[in-house]
Amino acid sequence: MGAPAMAAIQMKERHIVDAFRAAGATSAEKARVPDELNVGTHGIAWRALCNQAVVRESGEGRFYLDLPSWEAVRRSRRKRILILTVLVIAFAFWLLATRR
């Protein structure tokens, strides 16, 4: 999957997270039906958030945002980006060093 597609999925994830956060649906007791929040449940972003336990079902078709899980996902992504950046820079330096 290309970078533009990943960026689009992450934008949709943020839209879903922001909708639940704005509605105050951050616990099982405050869970909401996704349609009330204008959040689609058939896309890749929705499935990814459910698979990562960021959006959790509390029963009867109601869902809520698990904020600690969302923060953990964000930290993990930042770490992966940092590692990738360091590897690319190291590779660039290696290329420069071996060309001399």
Instruction: Render pLDDT for 22-46 as a digit per residue (tens, 0 to 9).
Output: 999 999 999 999 999 999 889 999 9
Distance CA 64, CA 56 (A): 5
- In the prediction, which pLDDT does 2 show? 79
Q: How many CB atoms lie within 10 A of CB 45?
A: 20
CA distances, 32 to each of 17, 65, 76 (Å): 13, 10, 27
Q: Say what the pLDDT of residue 1 is.
A: 62
pLDDT value, residue 16: 96
Q: Considering the chain, what percentage of its residues have pLDDT values greater than 70?
A: 98
pTM: 0.81
Q: How far apart are CA 18 and CA 2, in angstroms?
A: 24
What residues are paired with 65 via a beta bridge? 55
Can you give the pLDDT at residue 85?
95
pLDDT at 6 (0 to 100): 86
CATH for 3-98 is 1.10.10
Residues lower than pLDDT 50 in the chain: none
Instruction: Report yes or no: 31 and 22 within 8 Å, Cβ to Cβ.
Output: no
Domain ranges of the chain: 3-98
